[in-house]
Amino acid sequence: MLVAGNLSDDGVTIQTIYSFCKEEWNSDPLLISKPFPFTPIDGPSGTQFNLISEWDWADATTIGLIRDGGWALKDSDGVSQEEYMNITSLGAFHDSNSDTASYTQGDLDSPTDVLLTGEVNQAIKIYGDATHGDFDYRADFIIYLRIIS
């Protein structure tokens, strides 16, 4: 995904991406012959998906634009290669223009800032197999709000 047209840095929900792809696969003869890249795993809420059939997001910029959902990248045997969870903050920040949330995974002394200032709604990688980072933070995540004064 590129920031262009109606897509801004505000991003797009993963459900919107899924719905758009469903329409494309149903109407494009070239796509119909290819395997569909998504399997929803949480029913009608449309916030959690598996990416399958060797499909993956284009790059980190694309991942940074996905809102309101998480996913697992699965290999051809259905084994997770990467997993992302969505972090969405509740309520308003004191100063959305400068307050930045940060999080730790594993090392409490090395926080990572979220991508944008203000309220949080982004995917964060929590697992990578040996070829995708070799870490597992699925049970080890803390988020903080740092107020800039």
The residue to which tokens 């494309």 are assigned: 24
The residue to which tokens 């995974």 are assigned: 105
Per-residue pLDDT of 18-51, as tens digits, reads 999 999 999 999 999 999 999 999 766 778 999 9
The residue among 132, 133, 102, 136 whose CA lies nearest residue 117 is 102
65 part of a folded domain: yes
Token pair, residue 44, equals 């009608």
> What is the Cα Rg of the chain in Å?
17
33 part of a folded domain: yes
Structurally, the chain folds into a number of domains equal to 1
6 part of a folded domain: no
Per-residue pLDDT of 72-103, as tens digits, reads 999 999 999 999 999 999 888 888 888 889 99
Q: Residue 30's domain spans which residues? A: 12-146
* Percentage above 70 pLDDT, the chain: 92
For residue 120, what pLDDT is reported? Answer: 93
Query: In the predicted model, is pLDDT for residue 56 greater than 90?
Result: yes
Q: What is the pTM of this model?
A: 0.89
